[in-house]
Structure 1
């Protein structure tokens, strides 16, 4: 795939350390929710760095939106998140990935399980589903450390009756929360999994340890491993 130049036109704060970046992308071929792109930065001395970032929104004419979580000490994410000037260009290659995607013609109920910034490609799926007339249902189980770490509050609370969103806090929850803070366990997955069909896809995205733990829980509960699609980082 060729590299193409895109221009930063908007930066949105999601959490204290996370941003959504919207780029004008002339000639963009479109993409499926769940896909990602490679981003390449070139320094004045010719040094290049390439990182992969998930597309945070469904295809929208000739623009793309990326979710960027700042990695302390990173050489790319802090610059993209906070220092890349509006109007500046970067290079991207994509869209990439055809396995971890949701297609509008899929009729089955869907379960999405996200850990931290792993919600980015799943948010693209939710936003794409919101635009459709599909009667299928989406459930999202979203694990974050604290209420300040929740991405896409407006999109997750979109009022769509086909969407069931539950947030699990691992370190500190809101006052009078119904669930004590802690990692995602089988009790969190029992209800959502019981509302799936045998062929329903489950999309799990987040840090490697989180994805492996959730995948093991789901298979122990009897989910067919072929229906569990994973995307991991770190």
Structure 2
């Protein structure tokens, strides 16, 4: 008997209205969207965002969701990509009550749910902190006791997303600077010495492609089970 594979229907576009915006760094901004009919999401998922100009031209990009589900609210954090089509508008021009379209949630593998046990190691490079922050917030909201730790690599202190929130987090957070020396570490890229023991942990790594590959190589070289490593990467895409 020949079986026909089921047809997968694409998630429809939903109208979204900007509820609030707030700056994270000089080049990034958190956007809170109200999306009637939003089906909910898991920490680690992302959405497609579409902007349409008055002449009908449209452009879309994918952005990670930054916070746990909260009714019809969807929170994104976007970093401006120079010469991009979408991110400069979202970071520099979008205002409360403005409207756009979103589609999602998308992705089911790079996710964490409160029912899952720890330990969990989160490793972020640059704006790769966004989906991992959703996991940190989900854990706190659910009152989970799963052991979490976060290693976050950025150029310098002014590039840290969610700085105040991370400084008050009830999990170990280590900030690494690639271009600014810190009291306990010279400036530079992430190394094996920067990562805590993780043999029994599920590891989530998110950031630019080169960063994700470097962290994965370090983990595998010290014997981490490949099945325990989940990665999400991004590269130049026009923004």
Give the TM-score normalised by structure 1: 0.93
Asked whether 1:138 is paired with 2:148, we answer yes
Question: What residue is the counterpart of 1:188 in the other structure?
Answer: 194
State the 1:157 CA deviation.
2.4
Q: In the TM superposition, what whole-angstrom CA distance separates every residue of 1:168-206 from its partner, at most 9, and x where no partner exists?
A: 0000145xx2111111001111xx224x51xx2100000
Verify the 8 A CA contact 1:40 1:50 in the aligned structure 2: yes
User: Moved runs in structure 1, 4+ residues, more than 3 A?
Assistant: none
In the alignment, structure 1 segments of 5+ residues that lack a partner are none
Q: What is the CA–CA distance in structure 1 between the aligned matches of 2:49 and 2:30, rounded to whole Å?
A: 14
Q: Which residue, 117, 128, 132 being the options, matches 1:122?
A: 132
In the alignment, structure 2 segments of 5+ residues that lack a partner are 1-10
Verify the 8 A CA contact 1:34 1:124 in the aligned structure 2: yes
Q: What is the CA–CA distance in structure 2 between the aligned matches of 1:77 and 1:48, rounded to whole Å?
A: 13
State the 1:226 CA deviation.
1.0
Q: What is the CA–CA distance in structure 1 between the aligned matches of 2:166 and 2:140, rounded to whole Å?
A: 10
Aligned residues: 225
Question: What residue is the counterpart of 2:227 in the other structure?
Answer: 226
Instruction: Single out whichever of 143-152 and 131-140 deviates more from structure 2.
Output: 131-140
State the 1:27 CA deviation.
1.7
Asked whether 1:104 is paired with 2:99, we answer no
SS at match of 1:122: helix
Question: What residue is the counterpart of 2:38 in the other structure?
Answer: 28
Q: In the TM superposition, what whole-angstrom CA distance separates every residue of 1:88-108 from its partner, at most 9, and x where no partner exists?
A: 110000000000000111112
Provide the alpha-carbon RMSD of the alignment.
1.1
Give the TM-score normalised by structure 2: 0.91
Question: What residue is the counterpart of 1:153 in the other structure?
Answer: 163
Verify the 8 A CA contact 1:123 1:155 in the aligned structure 2: no
